[in-house]
Amino acid sequence: MRKLSKRFDICLSGNKAPENCDIRYRQFYWLMVFDEAGELRGACKLGEQLSVVIKQGFDVPNGFVELVEQSMRSKSSVQELQRNYIKSGGSLASYETLCAKVQEVHGVGQMAVSTFLEESRSKVEDPVLTGARSLWMEADACSHQVINHAAFSRVRNRLVEFIGEHPKHPFTRRLLEPLVDSLKYSFDVEAKCRAYVDAWADRSDSGIHDELIAALSKRSSAWCEIALKELGELEGHSYQRLRLLAQIGDADGVLKALEATKSFGVMRPFHEEWRREAKAKATGNK
């Protein structure tokens, strides 16, 4: 570390991540390496990658140095690839290279890359496509990061809005997949999808959304069928059972299961939402 400090400035950041470096799993130890221009070259879960280099014959201190060197040997920084994206007018190749870099740095800063794409819309050839890519990136970050009620809610709203606004864009249909995925912690998935479908149908009377409406309805029905099947195989009270009951919109089942369940951390806002929506549905059904 002392030797390394002659070449690199080193910071123990505690539990504060650097700006634009959103982190997927905050309970792990992370290493982030920045070049002279302050751009992110590499990032990894330290323990996991140290194990890899130790298996290659390094001891812990030299293994750590090797990880830093590997990052510095990386061809480009995240920011450089972002600049290339704009320079190329938002080409597919530059987008794929950027995505590969996000994977290489284990998703560190993925939300920031999504924001970058959203803000780049006016600087590229196909602003709608770049907006869709931004959403895709954000949805992917949500589904891999620690479960976050606000993040799911935000991406879901953005997806619904985007799809409603750009029904004919070739990329739009692909966004149905992250939309359904963003509903995995929602109460009554089918009802929510019906509401989206109604909202899209209201936007135009030319049937422009018909294909998307049919595709989403099909997906949400399939999703609920799977949930019902899984439910049949589960016994007793469990978080998984509660979540499936919520997905299929079984109001009484959810309210009963919530009484027997202790909510913790990240699930608390979801449970509150399910309780509220289940009560509303149960009252409405009477």
Partner 1 sequence: MFYLSRAILGITTFFALSIASLATQDKPYQEGDVDAFLTTARSNGRPSIVLFNFDEKSG
Is position 26 an interface residue for partner 1 (rule: CB under 8 A)? yes
**Interface characters, 1-20, with partner 1 (x: CB under 8 A):** xx-xx-xxxxxxxxxxxxx-
Is position 46 an interface residue for partner 1 (rule: CB under 8 A)? yes
How many residues interact with partner 1 (rule CB under 8 A)? 43
Give least dist CB 20 to partner 1, A. Answer: 10
Q: What is the DSSP string of 47-109?
A: HHHHHHHHHTT--HHHHHHHHHHHHHHSS--HHHHHHHHHHTTS-HHHHHHHHHHHHHTTTTT
Is position 28 an interface residue for partner 1 (rule: CB under 8 A)? yes
What lies within 8 Å, CB to CB, of 170 at 6+ separation is: none
Q: What distance in Å separates the CA atoms of residue 171 and residue 81, rounded to the nearest whole number?
A: 22
Q: Of the two residues 31 and 231, which places its CB atom closer to partner 1 in the complex? A: 31
Q: How many residues does the chain have?
A: 286
Is position 31 an interface residue for partner 1 (rule: CB under 8 A)? yes
Q: What distance in Å separates the CA atoms of residue 267 and residue 273, rounded to the nearest whole number?
A: 10
Is position 64 an interface residue for partner 1 (rule: CB under 8 A)? yes
Which residue is listed with tokens 């995240």?
78
Contact residue for partner 1 among 70, 72, 194, 255 (CB under 8 A): 72
CB-neighbour burial class of residue 121 (10 A; exposed 0-12, middle 13-18, buried 19+): middle
Is position 83 an interface residue for partner 1 (rule: CB under 8 A)? no
Is position 100 an interface residue for partner 1 (rule: CB under 8 A)? no
Residue 209, H or E segment: none
Token readout for 106 is 């284990």
Q: Of the two residues 54 and 99, which places its CB atom closer to partner 1 in the complex? A: 54
- Give the closest residue to 82 by CA, choosing from 17, 128, 134: 134
Give least dist CB 76 to partner 1, A. Answer: 15
Q: Of the two residues 10 and 222, which places its CB atom closer to partner 1 in the complex? A: 10
Is position 56 an interface residue for partner 1 (rule: CB under 8 A)? no
Is position 235 an interface residue for partner 1 (rule: CB under 8 A)? no
Per CB under 8 A, residues contacting partner 1 are 1-2, 4-5, 7-19, 21, 23, 26-38, 46-48, 50-51, 54, 60-61, 64, 68, 72
